[in-house]
Amino acid sequence: MRILAAGDHFVAPELFTRELTAEIGTGHSIGELRLDWPLTPFGPVSEVDEASGDEDTILSALEGAEVCVTQMGPVTAKVLDGAPDLRLVVVGRGGPVNVNLEAAKEHGVQVCNTPGRNAAATAEYTVGMMLAAMRRIPETSAALAAGRWAGEFYTYDNCGPGLDGASVGLIGCGAVGSRVARALGAFGATVLIHDPYADQDALREVGTPVAGLDELLRRSDVVSLHARLTPETRGMLGARELALLPEGAVVVNCARGALLDEDALCDGLESGRLAAAGLDVFAVEPPPPGSRLRTAPRLVMTPHLAGANTSVAHNAARIAAAEVGRFLRGEPLAHRVV
């Protein structure tokens, strides 16, 4: 069988190949393609979102392939039309947003993803972002690097709040949110959770479920987003919702940029009503040169790195290879979405 390992500079094609060989042996032809993400940001390609590369490049690499293992490669209707031998696509990420699922179904191509591959990494980063924003770590580090001992950050008005004793509201509590909740409990925070789709008894094991989003916001010193981006959740934290937060609250988003109204966030930071914010994701990535985010005070920003550590890359390749092994052995696929 011919397999295409379409990796990038995070989950490298040779990493896919190594895990595939460990899973299925050496009796198959594995071709490699390296896409340019994350050195070049992902974006829409034809009708799919968050893809890297172009249709013609991946089409050429897919010639004769029955299986494609990729993280960011665009699997569009055009690609599926031009790859008649293709039978399985395994996407090495939590959501197969780079695949046209309807077209895959029409072509009889099965599609799998690798859920949970970066849950631990994203949870760790989220807590780190809270601490960085609340304790003003980037500002103080920059001051010291510039040769200034910024003693004013030890004053009551400038030192920032802590997690011990704080009420932290989590919007969404799946694989990432539940890990964040457990970590926050160890810090001594009171964890409030709004997730109408989760089992409420399971939520009680890591925090206190709150039925209404408005109530959660009114009670939260810190609010952190962990929801999936859907038509219902897009812009779920806007000016009205941010105004419900207590004076001096902190907002953190390491989920999806479009969950949050960035202009409303900037309004809150510029007015001083919000104490700080931490963003790893943005409505447009990277934020354009004229974005207010670039000049907003007390805002910590990182370029969509929460899910990036070396363990995640190995997890993605390992989970993907296991799916290919199941496919070749005729076993049910563990993470099939189509």
CATH number at 201 reads: 3.40.50.720
Residue 335 appears among annotated catalytic residues: no
Evaluate whether 7 touches 33 at the Cβ level (below 8 Å): yes
73-92 mean pLDDT: 98
* Catalytic residue chosen out of the listed positions 136, 298, 304, 326: 304
Instruction: Look at residue 116 and tell me whether its pLDDT is greater than 90.
Output: no
Is the domain of 213 the same as that of 272?
yes
Instruction: Look at residue 144 and tell me whether its pLDDT is greater than 90.
Output: yes
Is the domain of 198 the same as that of 276?
yes
Instruction: Give the Cα separation of 49 and 305 in Å (integer).
Output: 18
* Catalytic residue chosen out of the listed positions 256, 318, 326, 335: 256
Instruction: Look at residue 12 and tell me whether its pLDDT is greater than 90.
Output: yes
Instruction: Look at residue 49 and tell me whether its pLDDT is greater than 90.
Output: no
Instruction: Look at residue 94 and tell me whether its pLDDT is greater than 90.
Output: no
Give 95's pLDDT tier (boundaries 50, 70, 90). confident
* Catalytic residue chosen out of the listed positions 107, 285, 292, 314: 285
Residue 67's identity, in one-letter code, is: V
Residue 46's identity, in one-letter code, is: S
Is the domain of 138 the same as that of 228?
yes
Is the domain of 27 the same as that of 147?
no
Is the domain of 107 the same as that of 177?
no
Residue 285 appears among annotated catalytic residues: yes
Token reading at 89: 């696509």
Is the domain of 100 the same as that of 167?
no
Give, in order, the Cα–Cα distances in Å from 222 to each of 27, 185, 198, 283, 298.
Answer: 53, 14, 21, 21, 14
Residue 23 appears among annotated catalytic residues: no
Residues 6 or more apart in contact with residue 287 via CB below 8 angstroms: 293, 294, 301
Instruction: Look at residue 68 and tell me whether its pLDDT is greater than 90.
Output: yes
Asked whether residue 11 is assigned to any structural domain, the reply reads yes
Is the domain of 17 the same as that of 103?
yes
Q: Summarize pLDDT for 192-212 with one digit per residue, the tens.
A: 999 999 999 999 999 999 999
255-278 mean pLDDT: 97
Residue 42's identity, in one-letter code, is: F
Evaluate whether 249 touches 274 at the Cβ level (below 8 Å): yes
User: What does the pLDDT read at residue 16?
Assistant: 98
Give 242's pLDDT tier (boundaries 50, 70, 90). very high
Is the domain of 69 the same as that of 57?
yes
Instruction: Give the Cα separation of 16 and 184 in Å (integer).
Output: 34
Parent domain of 60: 2-117+309-329
Is the domain of 142 the same as that of 289?
yes
User: What does the pLDDT read at residue 112?
Assistant: 97
Asked whether residue 334 is assigned to any structural domain, the reply reads no
265-280 mean pLDDT: 97
- Number of structural domains in the chain: 2
169-191 mean pLDDT: 96
